[in-house]
């Protein structure tokens, strides 16, 4: 594709961002649909977030994805925020409509679609969610919408876990408890264990948010991290024959909903999956 004065610019705002596969997904999708668009990454320090958002407007960037640690804090800098994103308290997609920045959250649908793809039954199950940030909130909302029986939110800051727990209970009328992340090892069994923290993400690939003894109690392990493809947490699951999934399918699905917000249509998921998996195999 030839980059010219008509090329539309999109990107990712986060810190860190060098691990992201989003440029591969969106640039391949743009190319496959012959769209004159380019997607890049912007490593934005927390104290520079407001400047970055103003830059999106000033430079005419057509849209951005938002990742940790900015999903919650970016809300106050946007002009319009969807009801769903406000309910979750986090934005992962911004659309620039002629200088009006509109925030959305596509993580909920991305997570739901990813569970459907792996054929995981959620109804009536009990889940433990590690982390209490924006990604955790989206996951808890998705689980509640899919008919989960109960959720335990575990976090380093117990106060944050408590706040999220109370919110989920109030909004969805389901059992939702909380504990410190160290107390997870005291739970007798876990139907679904979901990691929404950044622990284990590249470059700190030897770290795990829960040790092997915790994983042994789980029937299914889901790690939202996709780089590395197999985190230390998932290696524990693999070693013990426990079903697991990484965050690649959620990444692709939430990206597809972002793509539709920006362009008006979806990309071909199967093409993108094949492209990514071939790239990961060759150490992209």
107 is in an annotated binding site: yes
User: Residues 227, 24: contact at Cβ < 8 Å?
Assistant: no
253 is in an annotated binding site: no
To the query of whether residue 243 is one of the catalytic residues in this protein, the response is no
User: Residues 144, 173: contact at Cβ < 8 Å?
Assistant: no
Query: Pairing mode, if any, of strands 126-130 and 80-81?
Result: unpaired
200 is in an annotated binding site: no
**For 19, which DSSP code?**
T
How many helices (DSSP H) and strands (DSSP E) are in the chain?
10, 12
Beta carbons within 8 Å of 245's beta carbon, 6+ residues apart: 114, 118, 120, 220, 221, 222, 223
207 is in an annotated binding site: no
196 is in an annotated binding site: no
Tokens of 188: 């007798």
241 is in an annotated binding site: no
135 is in an annotated binding site: yes
124 is in an annotated binding site: no
The Cα–Cα gap between 224 and 221 comes to 10
20 is in an annotated binding site: yes
- Active-site option among 8, 62, 71, 277: 71
132 is in an annotated binding site: yes
The Cα–Cα gap between 260 and 104 comes to 12
Residue list, annotated binding site for shikimate? 20-22, 67, 92, 107, 226, 254
Residue list, annotated binding site? 20-22, 67, 83, 92, 107, 131-135, 224, 226, 247, 254
Residue list, annotated binding site for NADP(+)? 83, 131-135, 224, 247
Write out the catalytic residue numbers.
71
């Amino acid at each position: 594709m030839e980059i010219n004065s008509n090329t539309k610019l999109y990107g990712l705002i986060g810190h860190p961002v060098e691990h992201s596969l989003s440029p591969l997904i969106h640039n391949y999708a743009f190319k496959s649909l012959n769209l004159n668009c380019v997607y890049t990454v912007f490593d934005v320090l927390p104290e520079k977030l407001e400047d970055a958002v103003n830059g999106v407007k000033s430079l005419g960037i057509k849209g951005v994805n938002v990742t940790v640690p900015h999903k919650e804090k970016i809300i106050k800098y946007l002009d319009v925020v969807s009801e769903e994103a406000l309910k979750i308290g986090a934005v992962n997609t911004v659309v620039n409509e002629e200088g009006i920045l509109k925030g959305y959250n596509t993580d909920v649908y991305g997570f739901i679609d990813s569970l459907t793809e792996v054929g995981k039954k959620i109804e009536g199950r009990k889940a433990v969610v590690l982390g209490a940030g924006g990604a955790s909130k989206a996951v808890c909302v998705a689980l509640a919408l899919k008919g989960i029986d109960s959720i335990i939110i575990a976090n380093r800051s117990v106060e944050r876990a408590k706040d999220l727990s109370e919110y989920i209970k109030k909004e969805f009328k389901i059992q939702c408890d909380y504990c410190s992340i160290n107390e997870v090892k005291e739970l007798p069994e876990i139907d679904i264990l979901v990691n929404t923290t950044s622990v284990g993400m590249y470059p700190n690939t030897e770290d795990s948010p829960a040790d092997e003894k915790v994983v042994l109690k789980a029937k299914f392990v889901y790690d939202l991290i996709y780089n590395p493809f197999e985190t230390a947490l998932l290696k524990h699951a693999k070693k013990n024959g426990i079903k697991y999934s990484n965050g690649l399918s959620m990444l692709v699905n939430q990206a597809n909903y972002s793509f539709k917000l920006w362009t008006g249509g979806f990309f071909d998921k199967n093409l993108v999956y094949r492209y990514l998996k071939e790239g990961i195999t060759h150490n992209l």
